[in-house]
C-alpha cells in the first residue's frame, strides 16, 4: 500500500511542496540536489585522529593502583592496541590519494626508538619533512608526534645515538609523553637533556627518566622549572648524584601547578637530598607519591618533603623509608592528613603500617605473587602478611578494602600449600567477612575459595627447602 503524500512530506522534508493534484509517476523530477561543500583538510585531520587514536595513549590523568592493578596486561595491552591502531591508520590512508596526502603525516603520533633501529635515518626523515613543509606553510610530520619512548642498552657508549635522539626530539615540539630509558648504568648525554627542555616545555605533560641521569641530574633539576604544565614526573636513581648541599638554591626553585603524580625509584639509595629539593617546589595539586627502592636516609631528613606537600597527598606508596631513629614512616603518615589510599610492600608492611591512619580507606599490599617464589620466600611473606593484616584491622578505623595487588587467585591455587597455611588463609578470609571489609585480589574481586580447590601438601610429601633458607622455619 502506497504511503500518503502527507506521510512522504513528513518523512522527507527536503522534497518540494506537495501540489494540489499529485503529479504523474512519469513526470520528471525537477528538484536539483546541490553537492555539499568539501570538508576542510583540518576537519579531515581531526576525523582521522579521533578514529585511530590509541585509548589512553596520550592521557596523563591521575590513575590509582586500585583501578589499574592488572599484572598481565598493562604495557603489553597498550602495544597490542597500538599495533591495531597503526593498521587502521594505514587502511584509512588507502581510501584515496588525496586523503592519504592529508592524513599520512598523522601516522607518527607515537614513536618508539630502541637498539636495532636506525635513529639517524628517522631524524633525517623528520628534519626533511619539517624543512619541506615549512617552505609550503606546513609543519612537518614531527609536529604530530605526541608520545615518544627512547631506550638503549648503554647511553655512555653510544654518543651518536644520543645525538640522533636529540635530533628526533627537536623535531617534535608537541610531545605530551616522553620516556627515556636504558640500562642501570648511570648517565644520559647532556645534549639529550637540553633537547627535551628546549623543544617542548609548554606541551610536555608526562616526563619519565627511566634510567639514571647520572651527572646530568643537577642539570635536569635546574632546567625542569620551564616545564610548568607537567602532570607526571618519574625519576630513576642508582647513583648519588642528587644535590643535598643547598636545596634552596635559586636554580632548583620550581612551580608545577598541574603536577599530580611524582614517582621516585631508587636502588639502595638515600633519596632525602632529592626530596629536600622537591620540598621547595610549589605543587598545589600533588595527589599521588611513590617512593620505592630507597633505603635508610642519611644525615638529611626526608620529612621536609612531607611537611611541605603531605596535606595534598591522597595516594602514597613506599616500600621502605626510615631514618636513624626508625620513625620516618610514622611521621610521614601523620603529615599526610588527606590520605585515602596507602600501598605497602609485604616485607616492610609491619613497620609501614605500625602508626595507622584515621582516614585511609584502602590499603594495597605488593609482593604476594607466590607461584614462582621459593619456599623460604613464601614463608617470609606469609609471616609478614599475618602481622600486617592484624595491624591494618586494628589501626585503620576507616578501612573499607585491602587489596593484594600481586595476588592472582588462579595462580594461588596452582601452588602446593601446607595445611596450616590453608587454615591461616581461611581464617583471614572469614575475619574480613565478619568485619565487612573487602579482601581483594589484584583485579578487585573478593578473595574467596573452597578448601577443596587448594592443593595441600601431604605429610609424607613435605615442600622442598630453599638451599639459602637456613635458619628459617618450615
CATH no. for residue 273? 3.80.10
What's the pLDDT score for residue 225? 94
Q: Which residues are within 8 A (CB) of 218 and not within 5 positions of it... i.e. 6 or more apart?
A: 241, 243
Number of alpha carbons in the 13 Å side-chain half-sphere of residue 297: 25
CA distances from 463 to 296, 369, 460 (A): 35, 18, 10
How many domains in the chain?
A: 2
pTM recorded for the entire structure: 0.82
Partners of 362 in the beta sheet? 341, 401
What is the average pLDDT across 393-401?
96
Distance CA 33, CA 363 (A): 65
Last residue of a domain, one of 77, 108, 139: 108
- Within 202-355, residue ranges assigned H as helices are 217-223, 272-279, 303-309, 328-335, 349-352
Q: How far apart are CA 141 and CA 107, in angstroms?
A: 8
65 vs 289: CA distance, rounded Å: 12
Q: How far is CA 19 from the centre of its chain?
A: 66
What letter does residue 68 receive in the DSSP assignment?
S
Higher-confidence residue of 472 and 67: namely 67
274 and 305 share a domain?
yes
**What is the CB-side half-sphere exposure of residue 233 using CA atoms within 13 A?**
21
Quote the strand ranges of 360-437, DSSP E. Answer: 362-366, 401-404, 416-417
Give a yes or no: residue 50 inside a domain: no
Q: Is residue 151 part of a domain?
A: yes
Is position 224 within any domain? yes
152 and 214 both lie in a single domain: yes
Average pLDDT over every residue of 93-98: 82
Answer yes or no: do 79 and 198 share one domain: no
Helix (H, G, I), strand (E, B) or coil at 133: helix
Q: Do 337 and 282 fall into the same domain? A: yes
Binning pLDDT at 50, 70 and 90, where does residue 9 land? very low
Question: What is the percentage of the chain residues whose pLDDT exceeds 70?
Answer: 77
pLDDT at 398: 97
Whether the Cβ atoms of residue 130 and residue 142 lie closer than 8 Å to each other: yes
Across 40-54, 160-174, 302-316, least confident range: 40-54
In a domain, 437, yes or no: yes
The span from the CA of 172 to the CA of 80, in Å, is 24
49, part of any domain = no
426, three cell numbers: 581461611
Q: Which of 108, 134, 162 represents a domain boundary (last residue)?
A: 108
171 occurs within a structural domain? yes
Each residue's pLDDT tens digit, 340-353: 999 999 988 988 88
With 80 as the cut, is the pLDDT of residue 31 above it?
no
Predicted pLDDT at 212? 85
Whether residue 265 is found in the same domain as residue 167: yes
> Does residue 386 share a domain with residue 327?
yes
Decide if pLDDT at 365 tops 90.
yes
Whether 18 shows a pLDDT value over 80: the answer reads no
Reported as a single tens digit per residue, the pLDDT across 434-464 is 999 999 988 888 988 766 677 776 554 444 4
Beta carbons of 215 and 241 less than 8 angstroms apart: yes
Q: Check whether 11 has a pLDDT greater than 50.
A: no
Domain shared by 162 and 210, yes or no: yes
Check if the beta carbon of residue 405 is closer than 8 Å to that of residue 69: yes
Q: Clarify whether residues 82 and 158 are in a common domain.
A: no
pLDDT at residue 403 in the model? 95
The verdict on residue 4 lying in a domain is no
- Cα(229)–Cα(386) distance, rounded to whole angstroms? 43
pLDDT beyond 60 at 376: yes
d(CA 408, CA 72): 10
Residue 164: the pLDDT is 92
Q: Are residues 96 and 222 in the same domain?
A: no
Q: Give a yes or no: residue 39 inside a domain.
A: no
**pLDDT tens across 151-160, in order?**
888 776 667 8
Q: Do 132 and 239 have their domain in common? A: yes
Residue 270 near residue 300 (C-beta atoms within 8 A) = yes
Cell of 231: 602532570
Average pLDDT, the chain: 79
What does the pLDDT look like over 226-276, one tens digit per residue?
Answer: 999 999 999 988 666 655 545 556 667 899 999 999 999 987 777 878 888
Q: Is the pLDDT of residue 25 over 90?
A: no
Structural domain boundaries enclosing 181: 110-457
* Segment 294-334, tens digit of pLDDT: 665 554 567 889 999 999 999 999 887 665 456 778 888 99
Ranking 43-52, 359-368, 381-390, 401-410 by mean pLDDT, the lowest is 43-52
Both 279 and 421 in one domain: the answer is yes
Domain finish residue from 55, 79, 108: 108
CA dihedral 179, 265, 380, 322 (to 10 degrees): -160
Do 84 and 197 fall within a single domain? no
Cβ pair 260, 287 in contact under 8 A:
yes
Nearest to 240 by CA among 303, 294, 168: 294
Question: pLDDT band at 473, cuts 50/70/90?
Answer: very low
Amino acid at each position: 500500500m502506497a504511503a500518503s503524500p502527507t506521510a512522504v512530506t513528513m518523512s522527507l522534508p527536503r522534497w518540494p511542496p506537495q501540489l494540489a493534484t499529485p503529479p504523474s509517476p512519469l513526470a520528471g523530477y525537477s528538484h536539483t540536489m546541490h553537492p555539499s561543500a568539501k570538508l576542510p583538510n583540518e576537519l579531515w585531520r581531526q576525523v582521522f585522529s579521533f578514529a585511530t587514536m590509541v585509548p589512553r595513549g596520550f592521557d596523563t590523568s591521575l590513575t590509582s593502583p586500585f583501578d589499574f592493578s592488572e599484572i598481565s596486561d598493562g604495557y603489553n595491552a597498550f602495544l597490542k592496541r597500538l599495533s591495531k591502531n597503526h593498521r587502521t591508520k594505514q587502511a584509512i590512508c588507502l581510501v584515496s590519494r588525496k586523503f592519504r596526502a592529508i592524513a599520512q603525516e598523522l601516522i607518527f603520533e607515537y614513536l618508539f626508538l630502541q637498539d636495532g633501529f636506525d635513529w639517524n635515518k628517522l631524524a633525517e626523515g623528520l628534519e626533511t619533512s619539517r624543512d619541506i613543509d615549512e617552505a609550503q606553510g606546513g609543519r612537518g610530520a614531527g609536529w604530530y608526534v605526541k608520545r615518544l619512548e627512547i631506550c638503549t642498552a648503554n647511553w655512555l657508549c653510544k654518543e651518536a645515538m644520543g645525538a640522533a635522539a636529540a635530533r628526533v626530539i627537536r623535531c617534535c615540539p608537541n610531545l605530551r609523553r616522553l620516556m627515556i630509558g636504558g640500562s642501570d648504568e648511570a648517565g644520559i648525554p647532556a645534549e639529550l637533556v637540553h633537547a627535551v627542555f628546549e623543544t617542548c616545555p609548554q606541551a610536555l605533560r608526562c616526563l619519565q627518566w627511566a634510567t639514571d641521569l647520572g651527572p646530568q641530574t643537577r642539570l635536569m633539576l635546574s632546567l625542569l622549572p620551564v616545564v610548568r604544565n607537567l602532570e607526571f614526573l618519574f625519576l630513576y636513581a642508582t647513583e648519588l648524584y642528587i644535590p643535598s648541599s643547598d636545596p634552596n638554591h635559586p636554580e632548583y626553585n620550581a612551580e608545577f601547578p598541574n603536577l599530580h603524580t611524582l614517582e621516585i625509584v631508587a636502588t639502595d639509595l638515600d633519596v632525602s637530598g632529592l626530596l629536600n629539593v622537591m620540598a621547595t617546589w610549589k605543587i598545589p595539586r600533588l595527589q599521588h607519591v611513590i617512593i620505592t627502592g630507597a633505603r635508610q636516609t642519611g644525615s638529611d631528613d626526608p620529612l621536609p618533603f612531607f611537611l611541605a606537600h603531605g596535606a595534598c597527598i591522597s595516594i602514597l606508596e613506599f616500600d621502605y623509608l626510615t631514618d636513624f631513629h626508625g620513625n620516618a614512616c610514622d611521621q610521614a603518615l601523620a603529615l599526610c592528613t588527606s590520605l585515602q589510599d596507602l600501598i605497602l610492600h609485604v616485607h616492610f608492611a609491619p613497620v609501614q603500617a605500625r602508626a595507622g591512619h584515621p582516614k585511609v580507606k584502602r590499603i594495597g599490599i605488593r609482593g604476594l605473587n607466590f607461584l614462582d617464589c621459593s619456599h623460604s620466600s613464601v614463608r617470609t611473606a606469609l609471616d609478614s602478611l599475618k602481622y600486617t593484616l592484624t595491624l591494618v584491622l586494628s589501626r585503620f578505623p576507616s578501612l573499607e578494602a585491602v587489596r593484594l595487588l600481586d595476588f592472582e587467585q588462579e595462580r594461588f591455587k596452582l601452588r602446593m600449600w601446607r595445611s596450616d597455611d590453608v587454615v591461616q588463609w581461611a581464617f583471614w578470609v572469614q575475619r574480613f567477612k565478619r568485619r565487612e571489609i573487602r579482601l581483594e585480589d589484584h583485579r578487585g574481586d573478593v578473595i574467596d575459595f573452597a578448601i577443596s580447590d587448594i592443593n595441600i601438601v601431604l605429610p609424607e610429601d613435605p615442600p622442598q627447602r630453599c638451599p639459602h633458607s637456613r635458619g628459617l622455619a618450615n
